[in-house]
Structure 1
Amino acid sequence: MARVKKAKPMQAQEKLTFLLSLVPFLIERERVSVTEVADHFRVDPEQIREAVRLIAVSGVPGETNTYQYEDLFDIAWDDFEENDQIVLTNQVAIDDSPRFSAREASALIAGLQYLSSLPENADRDAVASLMTKLSRGASASPSPLAVERTESDETLALIRQSVAAGVQLEFDYLGARGERERRRVDPLRVESMDADWYLRGWDHLRSAVRTFRLDRISHPSVSTEPISHRASDVALPDTLFESSADDLVVTVDVLNSAAALLADYIPDGAAREQLEGRVRTTVRVSHYHGLKRLMASMPGVATVVEPAEARRVVAEWAAAGAARYDEAPR
């Protein structure tokens, strides 16, 4: 009969190092078998059982400098002795670190759910794992929630498919001046500004990099044509929007503290005149509709100065919006 080789006993320093690794491992997994832990640490299962029994009488003394129940680790003993399963039912010391509140964890989980839809976040298992850790590590159970899907989410999903397959994306696009064209694009990057999402890609119709707002994309589909440009092959400008000869040039006054919010719209070399607490400069926009959206995002901090047509358009649009509040039933 073959003789089973007995595991070499651990030295004190080795045992301490082992326990410092074992406790976080058990906390991370909530429920785990003795065999699985032994396989992970490559030790004899009986060593794991001995270590668990030692953990169960370990802890940190409280304010009285005596060990009370809540100052010690504890395990589900019935599960341990009858099923060889390890479940920590009381944790100490490690739990003293600051934790997210339930509301904070919920907000972070919602953000991760939203970001997981972006094509560059291909490793969704890692995102899911992080959400699980946030739920488990919060001071209380986070509120159940889900991020509502939009039409842009469907487009993001197709962009992800296009990137993963290395093929071009086709869609109808409503341009800044109201024209609709069929575009064929190599997706390069998805970015956001305020509440809007944009796709930056190599446009085969224009033979150049172009920026597309996702809510203006319709009837998207993944083609079978391989992409010819990748993000590493193309020099993407730092700013989201590139100026065009057809852009509208508008003079605005903006609070000094908010001027940075217009950085993507201010052309290089634009004059800046310092006023009392404000700066007067110019911005370039594709059309007046874009100007209205820009001003709506900066209420009370930015004002259109000229041309007169731009002031009129923005003023009429603001007045129409205010009138709708007056007409609303009270």
Structure 2
Amino acid sequence: MNAKPVTLGASDKLTFLLSLVPFLMDHDRVSVTAVADHFGVTPERVRDAVNLIAMSGVPGETRQYLHGDLFDIQWDEFETNDNIVLTHLVAIDDSPRFSAREAAALIAGLQYLSALPENGDRDAIATLMAKLTRSSTGAPSQLAVSRTDADVAIAVIQAAVRAGTQVEFDYLNSRGTAQHRCVDPLRIESVDSDWYLRGWCHLREAMRTFRLDRMSNLRSTVVPADSHDDGVLLPDTLFEGSADDLTVTIELPAAALELLADYGPVPHGPAADGQLSRAEVRVSHFHGLKRLVAGLAGVVTVVDPGLARQTVADWAAAGAARYETSAAAQTEQADGAPR
């Protein structure tokens, strides 16, 4: 049942007019009836207000109201179809606005955020993107954040969290061992470009962290997840050590220790040259050092044990060899090309 339209006093009429213009700006095309329902007034009151707005403006340098100094609407739409479409704004358009490039960057960021599980109100994000598109100084470039395998996995896990059910998947750990896991999903976090699921692993009967790109055959089940309200806490750090972990000594600038906070580095004191610091980190396998070193190339040096150094050195040499092979192939192709 529609609410009875209210009677507007002089101050209410002014408030209505001041509220109507921003509302129309936020809607490219809106019917008189929709506006009346939104503000709780009669359609006749809306039509009178629109006619008044169309005769309002700010005088130009000549101190006269010329056509460009007044608001304008699509009169055919208004008179024939009872729709309101603003086509020209005055004064309001003088406020600072995002450039087309700035709006495109913000829209791309919002598209990315809308894929994250903690951002469930996608309608609000879509509305904000539409406002950015309309209010920029030019049409933003058509950008889209590509959907990756991680996005698909996040969507599956998010659905399981909403439903309060377990997820199951095949997981390849850092040692290269594949196992089937059933997990109560609790949180999804990212480190750089990598995404991780944190939850209660029923195989290990403990909290575990899983990299999404090592999962396969991920699916949501109908098995209810446990409540975990009995004192089981989710650790603050992303990576938790275990009794099977290996200890590695590394060298790096003291200021860079904070970059390894998730690895829980234990400072060892200054290195021999006095300019670097040594620290111990724990990894599940020496191959796990590859990502650490690659992420901080030129910053972290593996010192001990020798097998850890050799593992990283072999990996780096294999990568360099691939570049050399590729460069040699390009040179041969160039030498054999017709001149």
TM-score range, shorter chain: 0.7 to 0.9
Distance across 1 between alignment mates of 2:290 and 2:218: 27
Structure 1, unpaired ranges of 5+: none
Q: Is the 8 A contact 2:5 2:40 kept in 1?
A: no
Which residue of structure 1 aligns with residue 285 of structure 2?
287
Which residue of structure 2 aligns with residue 213 of structure 1?
211
- Secondary structure, counterpart of 2:21 in structure 1: helix
- Secondary structure, counterpart of 1:225 in structure 2: strand
Shift of 1:133: 2.3
Which residue of structure 1 aligns with residue 158 of structure 2?
160
CA separation of 1:228 and 1:63: change in aligned 2, threshold 3 A = farther
Matched letter for residue 295 of structure 2 = S
Which residue of structure 1 aligns with residue 233 of structure 2?
235
Which residue of structure 2 aligns with residue 10 of structure 1?
9
Q: Is the 8 A contact 2:166 2:220 kept in 1?
A: yes
- Secondary structure, counterpart of 2:106 in structure 1: helix
Which residue of structure 2 aligns with residue 192 of structure 1?
190
Distance across 2 between alignment mates of 1:55 and 1:315: 73
Distance across 2 between alignment mates of 1:307 and 1:6: 80
CA separation of 1:69 and 1:160: change in aligned 2, threshold 3 A = same
Structure 2, unpaired ranges of 5+: 332-339
Shift of 1:100: 2.9
Shift of 1:260: 1.9
Distance across 2 between alignment mates of 1:20 and 1:167: 49
Distance across 1 between alignment mates of 2:317 and 2:5: 85
CA separation of 1:318 and 1:38: change in aligned 2, threshold 3 A = same
Kindly provide the CA deviation profile for residues 242-262 of structure 1, in whole angstroms up to 9, marking residues without a partner as x.
112222222223234433211
Kindly provide the CA deviation profile for residues 164-212 of structure 1, in whole angstroms up to 9, marking residues without a partner as x.
2221111111112111111111110111111111000111111111100
- Superposed, 1:239-318 pairs within 5 Å as 239-267=237-265, 270-273=267-270, 278-318=276-316
Shift of 1:287: 1.8
Which residue of structure 1 aligns with residue 336 of structure 2?
none
- Secondary structure, counterpart of 1:264 in structure 2: helix
Shift of 1:298: 1.2
- Secondary structure, counterpart of 1:212 in structure 2: strand
- Secondary structure, counterpart of 2:140 in structure 1: coil
Per mean C-alpha deviation after superposition, the further-off stretch among 27-36 and 73-82 is 73-82
CA separation of 1:276 and 1:27: change in aligned 2, threshold 3 A = farther
Which residue of structure 2 aligns with residue 126 of structure 1?
124
Q: Is the 8 A contact 1:251 1:305 kept in 2?
A: yes
CA separation of 1:207 and 1:63: change in aligned 2, threshold 3 A = farther
CA separation of 1:141 and 1:245: change in aligned 2, threshold 3 A = same
- Secondary structure, counterpart of 1:29 in structure 2: coil
- Secondary structure, counterpart of 1:281 in structure 2: strand
Which residue of structure 2 aligns with residue 29 of structure 1?
27
Distance across 1 between alignment mates of 2:62 and 2:242: 73
Which residue of structure 1 aligns with residue 44 of structure 2?
46
Per mean C-alpha deviation after superposition, the further-off stretch among 289-298 and 190-199 is 289-298
Q: Is the 8 A contact 1:187 1:199 kept in 2?
A: yes
CA separation of 1:283 and 1:167: change in aligned 2, threshold 3 A = same
Which residue of structure 1 aligns with residue 73 of structure 2?
75
* Alignment TM-score, normalising by the size of structure 2: 0.85
Shift of 1:65: 6.1
Alignment RMSD, CA only? 2.7
Distance across 2 between alignment mates of 1:286 and 1:98: 53
User: Kindly, what percent of the aligned residue pairs are identical?
Assistant: 61
Name which of 99, 103, 106 aligns with 1:105.
Answer: 103
Shift of 1:137: 2.6
Distance across 2 between alignment mates of 1:124 and 1:117: 9
CA separation of 1:51 and 1:160: change in aligned 2, threshold 3 A = same
Shift of 1:62: 5.5
Shift of 1:69: 4.3
CA separation of 1:77 and 1:152: change in aligned 2, threshold 3 A = same
